[in-house]
Structure 1
Amino acid sequence: MSTSTAPSHPPSRMTSRQKTVLVVLLGAQFMFAVDFSILTVALPKIGADLGIGIDDLQWVVTVFALSAAGFMLLCGRIGDLYGRKKIFLAGIALLTISSFAGGLAESQETLLLARIGQGLATAMVTPSGLALITTSFSEGPMRNKALGLNGALLSLGFAAGAILGGVLTDVLSWRWDFFINVPVGIALFIGAAVVIRESRSIDRPRLDVPGAVTVTLGLLAFVYGITGGERNGWGSVWTWGALLAAGILLVAFYLIELRTAEPLAPVRVLRANSVKWGNLGGLLTFSMESGLAFLLTLYLQQVLGLTPLQTGLMFGFLGTGAFLGGTMASRIIARLGSKGTLVTGLVIQAVMTGVLFFLGDNVGVGVVVVLLTTFVGGFGHVLAIVAYTVTATSGISDEEQGLATGLITMTQQIGFTIGIPIMSAIAATRYGALESGVPTAEGTLTGTTFGMLVNGLIVLAGALLVLLFLRSARTSSATVTASAEPESAKTGRETVAT
């Protein structure tokens, strides 16, 4: 019997096939990262063209977040059971079709259906693509390097999306924010169909339907409740009703997983030290970084008076720092370990965010300070992303990598979703008197800088928790699986690039 899925001496260099597969998978992850932010600056023009009121525009973002976060864990596990390549290709096809439909939309209903399709495609492709990466490389330097590049392109994609969205909307039309996905999606579908090999567990247990239903509905209710806090107010019965329903459903899911013979998410995986604390680090770095981007957008435009395009270009420095962090992450992990790198990344992000509390209304000084802090903070942010991904997938057998990456990408999507409403609510406590429902420039400065201070303190507290409670990952037979790996699993374990 084999007790480890990793070879004793993993190869030190990628094969040409591995490089080709990695290009396709990273290309898909980059496209989905761009998609998350590309519509942000286009929302006002979309509303004007399609007659969508300002109060309803948030649904363009909300329905995407609901479908992406709500189905992420389920899709990751389905990939484990029925084939990651299959669900990856299906997701790419759905994104391409949904994007084409969104570009042609002439009504609010058609646009929202297209966004739901894009969200479902994200839930299908993101965990399966990440699982295909982790099953392509054994734990160690090569996997860390691949995940480093993934983290770099992920953050660069978010920054590039805001810039690309502004350029396409100004030069062509907001419809090209959708149409741009069509040729890219077709190329990725063909490339993935040709070069990626199927990857799934040799055992194909029945899908845990009760677990799938409760966790999906629970996540949908949670995301709806959090986004509803900003939409309906934090005192709204709809907000707290949704959050209460989410709590009940997620507790029910956990109890179901304890008792079912073939669980959707084995409790031993959910309880694993690296999974719990790694995902906590991921939730904090993603949620607080998305919240910071929101606060900086308000500061740059409403305090310093920058245009949307200038604001998008400012975030290019964050993307540059993030890309640098991703390219260096594997070497830093080799020196500090995944735990040390995660703590270091969180501390850098926390400090660079917290010092923005001292921002003022001087345009020159404000621009320079934001550029420097977002560059360094972006570097730390991606160190944390890569380290938490390495941590939360370490010691997990290939048969359960879809579950592990489903948890990771679910954490990512929830982080993106909750960061903005939380930071918006915190900043609103310091806006002071409003003029026609809008804070003054002075009030915006006070509220956003206070939010940045709280943001940094939250990330710093998370770094301390990870430092205290995350055990340093060690690859051993005990951590790979709960019991010795059967020979059938060994032979059925698939990689996409060997």
Structure 2
Amino acid sequence: MAIDPTSPPTSPPRDTPRLSTRDKLILFVLCAANFMVALDFSVLNVALPVLGADLGMSQSALQWAVTAFALPSGGFLLLFGRIGDLYGRRKLFLTGLVLFAAASLLATFAWDPASFLTGRALQGLGAAVIVPSGMSLLTTTFAEGPARDRALGISGTLMSLGFTIGVVAGGVLTDALGWRSTMGLLAVFALIVLPLAPGLLPESLPHSLKGMGGAPIPDRPHLDVPGAITVTGGLLSLIYALTTAADHGFGRADVVVTLIVGIALLTAFAVVESRTDAPLVSLSMLRRRTVAWGNLGGLITFSMMSTVVFVLTLYLQEILHLSAWETGLVFGVQGIMAVIAGSLTPRVVSRLGARRTLVAGLTGQGAFMIALLFLNAHSWSVWLAAVAVSLASMPHVAAIISYGLTVTSGVPDEEQGLATGLVTSTQQVGITIGIPLLGVLATTSDDLLSGTRLVMGIDAAILLLTAALIAVGLRTWRPAGSGAVEAEPVGSR
């Protein structure tokens, strides 16, 4: 038996290291790219009605403004994470930035629905390249310990902040400059980061792929094509089914068919990976307790918070009759609290360990959701909503940071792209599934207020149950006379 690497240190907490100027610039480039992608998830939401009128898109077609981005951004993450491991993360990251910038410009100057949706799809593909390669560059640039804790803390905070700011910025930009400015903002971000990246980021071929003097050896491991096809097809099918169900429910034939196809392909992927010599996703990686339970925590914290933001947006505008701008201000406070949490979480992790921080984060997020059970139709409820969701963002950010640390802890550098691909896949899928699975309960309820309370209750219960399961599943093992620290496979004793 082995000690869980996410257990707290037995020695006094280490001081947070000072980063060199170069390290700070590398961190800026990688975090700015993550922030940009997170912004893209929400910046267009408020602008959809105006966009549809301008480009002549029907109400049903507007769903594709979101789905066209979500499909490739979630479906190709694992594939590009592994490609980065095998063929170099730096050049993959730069390729993603170029693609994202070009796609954002296409979406900004789109002249009809087809050109706009093409831009959105290419944005999603660029995001699928940028996120896993950028995250694995971060985890391999900053050594495991306080430096990586701090880097992931900043990255996780900006990721959460980007999603929140997108809601506010989308409304402000659309009112002031029109919907095209939301896409133009993303192009500006990409064009700022792109010139800085080549001179700062190191190439990071794994040690196993280098020969004498660090030169790449000619006989590289080959990409697992059957695994890539099945996992990408499975994720694409599931994401399509869930994003479509968010607008049209689970009764539609295409939702049912793609849901079945997605499950079948992911089952086939598991079979393929168990039989290939060079799997896309090593099953031993998935059997790591830290990987399995850490990703469950990430999936739940993202899906439950995205549900709350969606349902509260409806509640604030439909029940309390707030404007889009006023609603944005409610969530703007959440962004401030997220920044505070991001600066504090690495210190908490150094004292408690990533596992306990993850459990505490999920528990705290669930506790503040309980407060939202007391929402009503009176105007003072806006303060309850603002305070509860803002305070909940602190344990939420703690859960985001600690789940990333939990999953990547103890993983060799040559598999960091895969590990971070799993982390970011969990993020994308979590954001995607929360609204169709729970948000629909509020939108289909005869009474939106009752539906909102129901969703908050279920949300809190899922968070607290998950925290309890992870506390047990990632319990600490201390072998007699051993100071080793390693991850134990799921179910091992």
Same structural fold, with TM-score higher than 0.5 when normalized by the shorter chain: yes
In the alignment, what sits opposite 2:334?
Answer: 318
In the alignment, what sits opposite 1:102?
Answer: 107
1:466 equivalent among 470, 474, 482: 470
Residue identity opposite 2:302 in structure 1: F
1:376 matches 2:381: no
How far the C-alpha of 1:329 sits from its partner, in A, is 0.7
How many Å separate the matches in 2 of 1:476 and 1:399?
A: 24
1:423 matches 2:428: no
In the alignment, what sits opposite 1:454?
Answer: 458
How far the C-alpha of 1:238 sits from its partner, in A, is 2.1
Structure 1 pair 80–473 and aligned structure 2 pair: CA distance change class (3 A): farther
Work out the percentage of aligned pairs sharing the same amino acid: 45
How many Å separate the matches in 2 of 1:353 and 1:92?
A: 37
Offset from partner CA, 1:402-456 (integer Å, 9 cap, x none): 0000000000000111111112222246x22xxxxxxxxxx11111121111111
**Contact 2:77–2:424 under 8 Å retained in 1:** yes
How far the C-alpha of 1:180 sits from its partner, in A, is 1.6
How many Å separate the matches in 1 of 2:201 and 2:488?
A: 26
How many Å separate the matches in 2 of 1:457 and 1:400?
A: 34
How far the C-alpha of 1:470 sits from its partner, in A, is 1.5
2:317 equivalent among 286, 301, 308: 301
**Contact 1:227–1:417 under 8 Å retained in 2:** yes
In the alignment, what sits opposite 2:71?
Answer: 66
**Contact 2:289–2:488 under 8 Å retained in 1:** no
Structure 1 pair 273–99 and aligned structure 2 pair: CA distance change class (3 A): same
**Contact 1:295–1:423 under 8 Å retained in 2:** no
How many Å separate the matches in 1 of 2:114 and 2:384?
A: 42
In the alignment, what sits opposite 1:407?
Answer: 422
Structure 1 pair 237–369 and aligned structure 2 pair: CA distance change class (3 A): same
**Contact 1:159–1:316 under 8 Å retained in 2:** yes
**Contact 1:38–1:165 under 8 Å retained in 2:** yes
In the alignment, what sits opposite 2:222?
Answer: 206
In the alignment, what sits opposite 1:393?
Answer: 408
**Contact 1:74–1:216 under 8 Å retained in 2:** yes
In the alignment, what sits opposite 1:494?
Answer: none
How many Å separate the matches in 1 of 2:59 and 2:465?
A: 36
In the alignment, what sits opposite 1:82?
Answer: 87
Q: Which range moved further: 189-198 or 466-475?
A: 466-475
2:24 equivalent among 15, 19, 28: 19
How far the C-alpha of 1:231 sits from its partner, in A, is 3.6
How many Å separate the matches in 1 of 2:484 and 2:135?
A: 23
Q: CA RMSD of the aligned region, Å?
A: 2.0
The answer for unaligned runs of 5 or more in structure 2 is 1-13, 210-219
2:178 equivalent among 173, 178, 191: 173
Structure 1 pair 136–53 and aligned structure 2 pair: CA distance change class (3 A): same
**Contact 1:339–1:473 under 8 Å retained in 2:** no
How far the C-alpha of 1:235 sits from its partner, in A, is 2.5
**Contact 1:396–1:479 under 8 Å retained in 2:** no
Count of aligned residue pairs for this structure pair:
463
How many Å separate the matches in 2 of 1:477 and 1:112?
A: 51
**Contact 2:366–2:461 under 8 Å retained in 1:** yes
Offset from partner CA, 1:141-168 (integer Å, 9 cap, x none): 1111111111111111111111111111
1:445 matches 2:449: yes
**Contact 1:339–1:472 under 8 Å retained in 2:** no
How far the C-alpha of 1:42 sits from its partner, in A, is 0.3
Structure 1 pair 11–287 and aligned structure 2 pair: CA distance change class (3 A): closer
Offset from partner CA, 1:381-407 (integer Å, 9 cap, x none): 000000000000001001000000000
**Contact 1:355–1:453 under 8 Å retained in 2:** no
Residue identity opposite 1:333 in structure 2: V
How do 1:475-494 and structure 2 match up within 5 A? 479=486
2:250 partner SS: coil
How many Å separate the matches in 1 of 2:344 and 2:485?
A: 30
**Contact 1:88–1:125 under 8 Å retained in 2:** yes
1:479 partner SS: coil
How many Å separate the matches in 2 of 1:70 and 1:281?
A: 20
How far the C-alpha of 1:175 sits from its partner, in A, is 0.5
**Contact 1:300–1:306 under 8 Å retained in 2:** yes
Structure 1 pair 476–30 and aligned structure 2 pair: CA distance change class (3 A): farther
**Contact 1:225–1:243 under 8 Å retained in 2:** yes
**Contact 1:357–1:449 under 8 Å retained in 2:** yes
Structure 1 pair 445–90 and aligned structure 2 pair: CA distance change class (3 A): same
How far the C-alpha of 1:481 sits from its partner, in A, is 11
